């Protein structure tokens, strides 16, 4: 058995890969997001489109998990899931959520907060049929998502059974599966800096306009 780490107080890094200045960012937060996101893609980062999604239920209990960004426009940021999953249940009673993109290689992160709505059935269906066939099968058999299952073997058996039944034929999108779109109301761009004097710039929508402000680290 490996030794237990008891003291983490001496574990730290010095951030010094970039700076973030008000005069150099775009006045529109989505354009600034695209600038950083495209840079992360071009830098070859592993899954820069992976993002933490934070939701909360009716009692205010938070849940966080990693999902994949599947669309990004000024209108909003899209992800797909089972409507009966924990995130789906949370969003049904509390339609606000936050996204977090963290790219440690670049010493950058982006937070995006806003109201979440289901995207259209047509958009969900179109995306579903773009997915690999095995992913389509998995969406059907993972119901209810986050529900208890007796073993890995049972899950694999369900998958193989449906695979054999459909024999690579197109599958209908499950009624319990589809997309959500987060409509941004707040952004924060974070750039790590030395001595923990990090750069933090926020954009908040006020009266239909974006207000840019610097935040204390």
> Binding site for substrate: residue ranges?
70, 127, 131, 135, 196-198
Beta carbons within 10 angstroms of residue 117's beta carbon = 14
Known binding residues for FMN: 65-70, 80-81, 87, 109, 145-146, 190, 200
- Kindly name the residue from 61, 108, 193, 196 that is annotated as catalytic: 196
Asked if 157 and 141 count as a contact pair (C-beta separation under 8 A), the reply is no
Give CA–CA dist 98/137, Å, rounded. Answer: 29
State the binding site: 65-70, 80-81, 87, 109, 127, 131, 135, 145-146, 190, 196-198, 200
Cα–Cα dist 178/124, whole Å:
5
Kindly list the distances between the CA atom of residue 193 and the CA atoms of 19, 100, 190, 217, in Å, as whole numbers in the listed order.
Answer: 7, 19, 9, 10
Residue 111 among the catalytic residues: no
**118 closest CA partner among 176, 159, 160, 188:** 176
157 neighbors 126 (Cβ within 8 angstroms): no
Active-site positions read 196
């Amino acid at each position: 058995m490996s030794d237990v780490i008891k003291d983490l107080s001496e574990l730290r890094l010095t951030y010094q890969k970039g700076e973030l200045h008000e005069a150099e960012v775009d006045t529109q937060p989505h354009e600034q997001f695209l600038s950083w996101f495209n840079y992360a893609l071009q830098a070859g980062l592993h899954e820069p489109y992976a993002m933490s999604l934070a939701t909360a239920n009716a009692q205010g209990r938070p849940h966080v998990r990693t999902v994949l960004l599947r669309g990004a426009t000024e209108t909003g940021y899209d992800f797909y899931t089972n409507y009966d999953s924990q995130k789906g249940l949370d969003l049904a009673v509390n339609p606000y959520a936050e996204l977090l993109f963290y790219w440690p290689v670049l010493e950058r992160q982006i937070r995006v907060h806003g109201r979440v709505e289901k995207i259209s059935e047509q958009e969900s269906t179109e995306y579903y049929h773009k997915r690999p066939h095995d992913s389509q099968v998995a969406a059907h058999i993972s119901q209810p998502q986050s529900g208890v299952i007796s073993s890995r073997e049972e899950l694999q058996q369900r998958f193989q059974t449906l695979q054999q039944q459909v024999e690579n034929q197109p599958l209908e999108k499950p009624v319990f599966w589809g997309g959500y779109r987060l409509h941004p109301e707040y952004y924060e761009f974070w750039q790590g800096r030395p001595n923990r004097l990090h750069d933090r710039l926020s954009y908040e929508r006020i009266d239909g306009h974006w207000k840019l402000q610097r935040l204390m680290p």
